[in-house]
Each structure stands twice: as structure tokens, then as C-alpha cells.
Amino acid sequence: MKGTSTKRGVVVGIFIFVGLIIFATAILVLGGQRKSFIQSVQVKALFHDVGGLAKGDNIWFSGVKVGTIRKISFVDHNRIEVLMDIEKSSRQFIRKDVVAKVSTDGLVGNKIIALTGGSSQAQPIENGDQLAVATTISSDELMNTLQVNNKNLVEITGNLKNISRNIMNGQGTLGRLINDSSVFIELDQTMVTLRKTMANTQLLTEGLADYAKKLQTKGSLSNDLISDTIVFSKLRSTTVELEAASQKANDMVGNLKEITTSVNEKLGGSESAAGVLLNDPEAAEDLKATLSNLESTTQKLDVNMEALRSNFLFRRYFRNQEKAEKKRVKDSLKNANR
């Protein structure tokens, strides 16, 4: 009996020892997952909505787990304080200007605190630091936005369906273009005309460019007008002289108008000889008779002159006159050519 009870006590002791080992191992494993035995830095952040965040949830920085949530408590009716334990080994990489926001582990995973940003110029975080908070869109707001977008998408799809039906029925410009071959032919002809117009436009542009290049050729009149100030000043002075001449011509025309008016007045009266000739028939007849007599006298004079030219006494004189006239004409032509 004594041996049996001893054996039973040993078995119980072994079971108790194994149970203690399993219990200690479980504590160590759970503590390692929760980072309970790792030195940490405690910081906080104030949120308006934590979206279901709970104590013990993870804290990530750049996709790496760096701590856990120690405590969540209300500060007032719309502010919630979240205390976070950050591993001291990760402290040197997390700066004071990081931004904390509530996120999820995946699309629909557990809630986490995601730390983002931070500059190398800022100091690493320390105990008691309060981190800046970024506003996030909750899953409810996201679902509401998706619902609104779905409604808009359904409406857009319905409109596209109606547009497609109208096009297939030949309604509208696009429908006629697809279903009516004549519209396509007219459009094709229009495109051919546009191509010709573009080709002509290109040729015109090239011609203008060539013309502009020629205008810039040194020694040409256009280039001298643009670049030579002396030519431009001469042109300006010529323009001024032309304006003065035009003004003088206008004055002359005015004087001629006055003279014409005076002549018309005198011609209409009987005080002047021209007026008498125009208004007195007898004077006109006398003038005609006088002119007739002058004409006959002139003819007789021409006959006499021809007779004199044929006379040997005056022949030399007339030859000298012809030579002098020819020399005068020749000198005037030379002066004109100069």
C-alpha cells in the first residue's frame, strides 16, 4: 500500500510539474505576442472616433508592428485618449512629428493604429509625447460613399443604354453616321476638301515664309526700310513733301475752282470778249469769217514760204535753221539721259 501511494504521489507531482511548465510557457508566449516583457515608450493620441479600436490592438509603423495599445479612455464627450506602448528598439525610427490614424489590418481585418510620416530632422519620441492625429474615413462613411457611387453608376449605365439604343435606331448625328451611308459619304467628301484646304494652307504658309525670307535679304528695299534709318528718314521726309505737295494741289484746285467760277460768270455775261462770242451770234459769225480769212492767208503764206525755201537766196538760211533745231533736240536728249 505504501509503495502504491508513493507511486501515485510521484505521478501527481509529475503532472503538476508539467502543468506548471505548460502554464509558464503559455505566459511567456502570450507575453511575447503582447510585448508584455519588452521595454517600451508610452505615448498618447487624441481621437474623435476610434472606430472600434480596443485595448491590446497592434500599432504599426511603415507596415511593421512596433507596439500595442495600453489603454483607451474618454477625455470629454468627443475626444478619446489612446495610450500606446512603443518598443524602445523601434523608438529611434519613430519621430515626434509622425501622424497617427485608425486603420485596419487589411481591407476588413482587425483595427490598428498606423503611424506614418516623420522627418529625420525631428527628435525620436519620448515618454508622454502626444502624437498628431490624421482624420480617417470610417467604414460606414466608406460604405455610404460606395452606395452613392453605385447609384450614380446605375444612372450612368441607364443613360449609356438609352444612348446606345438611340444610336442603333439611327437617331442623332452619330446614329445617322453609323446607319446612313450617305452621311458617311458626305463626311468623307468633307474630309477630302479639308485635306485639300490644309494642303493649300501649307503651300500658302511656305510661300509667305519664302516671301518673308526674301524681304529680309540684305540690299533689298524692304530690308533697307526696316534696318536702314537713313532710308526710312528719307522716306519720311518724302512723305512729308508729298503731303505738302498734296496740300498745295488742293489749294491750286480751290483756286482753279474759283477761277472757273469767275470765267463761267464772265462767259455768261456780255462784258468780256469771250462772253460776247458765246452769247452774240453776229460776233460769232464775224469771228468765223475772220478765222476763214486767216486760214486762207496762212495757206498763202505757206506757199510763199515754200517759194522762199526754194529760192537760192534763202536756201542756206533755212538749212542753218534746220541744223540748229536738230542740235537743240540732240542736246535736250543727252540732258534727259543724264
Sequential DSSP letters for 132-201: EE-----HHHHHHHHHHHHHHHHHHHHHHHHHHHHHHTT-HHHHHHHH-HHHHHHHHHHHHHHHHHHHHH
Q: Is the confidence at residue 2, as pLDDT, over 60? A: no
pLDDT value of position 276: 58
> What is the phi/psi pair of residue 277, to 5°?
-65, -40
| DSSP 3-state of 220 | coil
pLDDT digits (tens, 9 = 90+) for 202-245: 888 888 887 777 766 776 666 666 666 666 677 777 788 888 88
pLDDT digits (tens, 9 = 90+) for 5-64: 676 766 777 778 778 788 777 666 555 555 555 578 899 999 988 888 888 889 999 888
Of 95, 114, 94, the closest CA to residue 103 belongs to 114
CA distances from 54 to 137, 167, 183, 196 (A): 18, 57, 69, 75
Q: How far apart are CA 27 and CA 21, in angstroms?
A: 10
pLDDT digits (tens, 9 = 90+) for 14-24: 778 778 788 77
Range with top average pLDDT, 85-99, 261-275, 276-290: 85-99
